[in-house]
Amino acid sequence: MCGIFGYIGEERPLQLWLDGLSRLEYRGYDSCGVATIKNDFIFIKKQQGKILDLRTNLKNLSLEKFNIGIAHTRWATHGKPNNLNAHPHIDCGKKIAIVHNGIIENYLLLKEMLLAERHKFLSQTDTEVITHLIEKFYQGNLLGAILKCVKELKGSFAIAIISTYQPKQLIGIRKGSPLILGLTDKGQFLASDIPAILPLTKKVVYLEDEQIAILEKDKVNIFDFEGRPNRVNIERINIKEEQALKKGFPHFMLKEIFEQPEVLDKTFLLYLKKEKIHFPQLNLKESFLKNLKNIFITACGTAYHAGYLGKYFLEKYCGVNVYIDVASEFRYRNFNLPNRSLLISISQSGETADTLFATRDAKSKKIKVLSICNMLGSSLAKISDNLILTPAGPEIGVASTKAYTAQILVLILFSLYLAKIKNIISEKFYQDAIVELKAIPNLIREILGQSKKIKSIADKFSKFGCFLFLGRGINYPSALEGALKLKEISYIPAEGYPAGEMKHGPIALIDEYRAVVCIAVYDNLYEKMVSNIQEIKARNGKVLAILNYQDIQASKLSDEAIYIPRLKNQDFSPLLIAPVLQLFAYYVAKNLGKEIDQPRNLAKSVTVE
């Protein structure tokens, strides 16, 4: 949450900061601001609203050149989104400006102390204490003051600082929240995430936790929180700039939905070798996997729904006990993680605070961790002893789409891999599964070809004020995900439910004003789903069914239906259902004129609790 961007180097127009910030806008978008130094003064401009508003306000200035600056796009935690609470924040002497991503948990205590020392606060944010603390500790050496300051702070933070005390230095600090450096011969950048610097450089440094980077026009030094110099580990990122552009699509979400076949193909390239599943980065010994009895899965949001599907695959194919919980609950439960357990943590960003805490907790209990993550340099990737990367590329739309299908595929592949090691499935089953999975990207292409039809159905259904998404067995998690997609971008109340639970309560909701999306593909629970559809129709609910092409029963009962190919192994059907439900949510939101890529109150990475 919140995006930060900074630059020091040859003079560049203010536009540079605004462009960098725009590429981070998916992280938060309720207010924004920029600060730079000119003629020994700190110049700050802040704006409630989007970066576009800030650009408009800075129109005359945007071509003016500066050689240092920081910028911020905010997702409010402490204090309303307004001009005063927008970052950057400045100290009383107007010498130090900072931007921050994270939460300072002890800010109230610190603020009280600083107020007693006559520091003047202008905002209600937790962030402002940082500027005043540095001001308090400054005695001619900025790094010295920062080292004292970070010792006082509890919580998570990525911070960028400029100061007229040392106008030739841009300072970045990381503890708990992501911060990367981008290096060039003409200047250095810092940012919360890769897309911000993609068009500017491919040479990056992933700052580690508890590191401070001092960037100058032509050099970078890194220190730990004790002030000791650290090695600067430069890496090259292998992501093309166009991957973070809309490429002619009206929204990132739509582009990312359409990228799914390609992402799945890439996943096969990485993890299939001569028709055998292999995970080259896995450090789990075969003997450990053979004897593995318990798997815990934790994640948040869409990644949790992928994990839920993983539970079905792992239980069915590998004969292990699988427990799953959202990370925000898992981390506070008294879970007894026995020996011979594995924790699977799933996250697109690898920066979700709860998932990270849950993972660290399991690690402290000596449980082996396998992460499924989309971001190589992320905190999750770094703390996990085992990583399976999902090669979905940058996902910019706040609603997760392509990362979800990549997570599902990786979980299927991992289940088959484990089942084979445990000798539970036959070679034929394994080979047939691989052949069928490899055909899925083309089947998704076929489904995406139906987008016009899905749009016209979505247009009709967008008048409903409340949705239920029903599925059973393997497609119960698909129903959960369909409901989440719809509610987060259209703001229509939507609930995902196991269809078998309808009679235990939710059926009371059904009347002619309720829309019910029923996933009723041919599998062992098809007949039961058909009965559930009957029950909804008997109470005048409006049914949109997701069915197989050959369907004869449910299609007759439903008001509308979207058809998908039938697989030999219907366990893999969630991979085909996901794009249908994503497109449906997308077109409902579009019809209602909602801000699809940046839904209200949400942010792409939830880096605070």
What's the closest the beta carbon of residue 356 comes to ligand M6R, in angstroms? 9
- Whether the CA torsion 407, 298, 606, 399 is positive or negative: it is positive
Catalytic residue among 111, 202, 402, 604: 604
Q: Which is nearer to ligand M6R, 382 or 539 (CB)?
A: 382
- Which residue lies nearest ligand M6R, judged by its C-beta? 301
According to DSSP, residue 567 is labeled: P
C-beta neighbour count of 443 within 10 angstroms: 18
Q: Which is nearer to ligand M6R, 28 or 187 (CB)?
A: 28
What's the closest the beta carbon of residue 402 comes to ligand M6R, in angstroms? 11
User: Is 366 annotated as catalytic?
Assistant: no
CA 150, distance to chain mean position in Å, is: 27
Question: What is the Cα–Cα distance from 565 to 86, expressed in whole angstroms?
Answer: 50
Question: What is the Cα–Cα distance from 239 to 304, expressed in whole angstroms?
Answer: 26
The continuous run of DSSP H or E covering 419 comes out as helix 402-421
Q: Which is nearer to ligand M6R, 1 or 554 (CB)?
A: 1
Q: Which is nearer to ligand M6R, 157 or 304 (CB)?
A: 304
CA distance between the termini of the chain:
11
The continuous run of DSSP H or E covering 294 comes out as strand 294-299
Q: Which is nearer to ligand M6R, 188 or 374 (CB)?
A: 374
Beta-bridge partners for 471: 498
Tokens found for residue 114:
């600083």
What's the closest the beta carbon of residue 532 comes to ligand M6R, in angstroms? 26
Question: What is the Cα–Cα distance from 148 to 192, expressed in whole angstroms?
Answer: 24
Tokens found for residue 539:
């109470």
Catalytic residue among 2, 32, 300, 373: 2
User: Is 300 annotated as catalytic?
Assistant: no
| Contacts (Cβ under 8 Å, ≥6 apart) of 194 | 180, 204, 237, 239, 244, 375, 377, 394
What's the closest the beta carbon of residue 217 comes to ligand M6R, in angstroms? 34
What's the closest the beta carbon of residue 605 comes to ligand M6R, in angstroms? 5
What's the closest the beta carbon of residue 75 comes to ligand M6R, in angstroms? 12
Contact between 70 and 35 under an 8 Å Cβ cutoff? The reply is yes
What's the closest the beta carbon of residue 48 comes to ligand M6R, in angstroms? 23
Beta-bridge partners for 157: 102, 176
Q: Which is nearer to ligand M6R, 16 or 606 (CB)?
A: 606
3 state SS of 170? strand
Q: Which is nearer to ligand M6R, 166 or 243 (CB)?
A: 243
What's the closest the beta carbon of residue 301 comes to ligand M6R, in angstroms? 2
| Contacts (Cβ under 8 Å, ≥6 apart) of 381 | 350, 371, 373, 375, 387, 389
Q: Which is nearer to ligand M6R, 73 or 349 (CB)?
A: 349
Give whole-number Cα distances, 555 to 165, 418, 443, 514, 547, in Å.
Answer: 72, 38, 21, 19, 7
User: For strand 368-373 and strand 386-389, is the pairing parallel, antiparallel, or unpaired?
Assistant: parallel
3 state SS of 544? strand
Binding residues for ligand M6R (CB under 6 A): 300-303, 347-349, 352, 355, 398-400, 484, 488, 602, 605-606
Give whole-number Cα distances, 487 to 484, 496, 497, in Å.
Answer: 5, 11, 14
> Which phi and psi (to 5°) does residue 437 adopt?
-60, -40
Give catalytic residue positions. Answer: 2, 604
